[in-house]
Amino acid sequence: MKDQTKEGQRNFVLRGNIIYSKTPQELSVTEHGFLVCSGGKVKGVYETLPKEYRTLSLTDYGDAMIIPGLTDLHLHAPQYSYRGTGMDLTLLDWLNTYTFPEEERYQDEAYARLQYARFAEDLKMSPTCRAAIFATIHPQASIILMDLLEKTGLVTFVGKVSMDRNGSKTYTEHSAPEAAASLLSFLSLVRSRNYQRTFPILTPRFTPACSDDLLMSIGQVQKQTGIPVQSHLSENPEEIAWVRELCPTASCYGDTYQRAGLFGGTCRTIMAHGVWCPENEIEMILENGVYLAHCPQSNTNIASGIAPIRKYLDLGMHVGLGSDVAGGASLSLFRAITDAIGVSKLYWRLIDHDERPLTFAEGFYLATRGGGSFFGDVGAFEEGFAFDALVLSEKSGLYRQEPLINRLEQFVYLPEQQQILAKYVAARRIF
């Protein structure tokens, strides 16, 4: 039957080889099964389609694989234009050489519209269904980004960046009150829109760029609005030393956010990286339920280090994956899965022999259910979950077709074979 889900049908069935994470270690596999969407949510996966669903619109994808949509917990939209540039630099030099000069250009709304249109279209066609995104310090340009993302059908959080120190001379907000006023202006613009899938997220760039007064002001906004928060944490040794100098009374990097009410608890929070978290910071993350966005390609490209993701998973930390464009050069979270597994092997081999490398199942979990849970019941095909799905088919036959998990693994590792036949977000077919 004709697939009408692009027009918003909320009850339908997909057929194919269905794979999703039950736990970080266990994948559910149903060959030539039926995935039912009822009322815009996942109803379940069935080997044989129950009678009550046989009248629904059915799209049979044959031998294609159907997996949950992927969630990118950390990326910078204005950096998309220069991804793959300056990868021989470390974090702070890279920010000053490339990031701040490029982000400053987004005060020109025509330039912002041009670059963000390219980013939004490419994100739409990528494996990502949901994302948490940094914009720039400019309220109007950030709204342009949100407008464009809303049209894609993806579900996203977008943050106008706040920073009142240690940017460039021409790219910073010159005081905490100025930065706070700019944030309130942005939120006012957001309220004037009728976004259905695109939401604001409070975005202090990172502690070195935010004074204590600014963090406190953002904390007050968070307390009043309940809007979630995203920032950076313990990414680079030089950055951490800088935080120690700037905030000598803080017990750790994470404490600079916690003192302002921006580190979990009642405040939903994503912190990117966590490469060098000390034990007291790890305890704080766990106690407050902070989400960690693991960005393995970026951590390699700008020489930040290797996050101990095995340790974090074993402790029960909320962990997902981030592309971290443009520290990461690729939007593809398939690449992030393979990088996460690869760097975990280096961590095991070179740093701690007791920390086992990630398995493929665990890498897949991070990209789906692990990061997706920040958005709620997202990233699996269990009853009541959001209906986000990717339909995957290789461009040509692979060497090893069985078992199905090996086929999926080859698909993830081989970009030249990757073909996304269809993408569904919140029960709506995007393409």
Give the separation between CA 130 and CA 414, rounded to whole angstroms: 23
Give the CATH number of the domain where residue 385 resides. Answer: 2.30.40.10
- Asked if residue 315 and residue 205 are part of one domain, the reply reads yes
Last residue of a domain, one of 329, 353, 375: 375
Last residue of a domain, one of 360, 375, 390: 375
- Dihedral of CA atoms 245, 249, 251, 255 in degrees, nearest 10, equals -90
Over residues 314-368, the pLDDT tens digits come to 999 999 999 999 999 999 999 999 999 999 999 999 999 999 999 999 999 999 9
Q: Which two tokens stand for residue 301?
A: 């490209």
**How many domains is the chain built from?**
2
Q: Is the pLDDT of residue 1 over 50?
A: no
Measured CA to CA in angstroms, residue 230 lies from 81, 103, 269, 359, 392 at distances of: 22, 18, 6, 28, 31
| Strands across the sheet containing 389-392 | 41-46, 27-38, 12-21, 57-68, 389-392, 420-425, 428-429
Query: Quick one: which of 213, 259, 254, 248 has its CA closest to 235?
Result: 254
DSSP bridge pairs for 70: 128
Q: Is the pLDDT of residue 423 over 90?
A: yes
Q: Is the pLDDT of residue 395 over 90?
A: no
Over residues 200-219, the pLDDT tens digits come to 999 999 999 999 999 999 99
Last residue of a domain, one of 352, 375, 398: 375
Q: Is the pLDDT of residue 399 over 60?
A: no
Segment 383-399 mean pLDDT:
88
- pLDDT category at 398 given cuts 50, 70, 90 is low
- Asked if residue 146 and residue 270 are part of one domain, the reply reads yes
- Asked if residue 341 and residue 420 are part of one domain, the reply reads no
Segment 241-268 mean pLDDT:
98
Give the separation between CA 349 and CA 142, rounded to whole angstroms: 42
Q: Which residues form the domain of 207?
A: 70-375
- Asked if residue 358 and residue 217 are part of one domain, the reply reads yes
Give the CATH number of the domain where residue 193 resides. Answer: 3.20.20.140
Predicted model pTM: 0.96
Side chain identity at residue 131, one-letter code: A
**How far does the chain reach from its first CA to its final CA, in angstroms?**
17
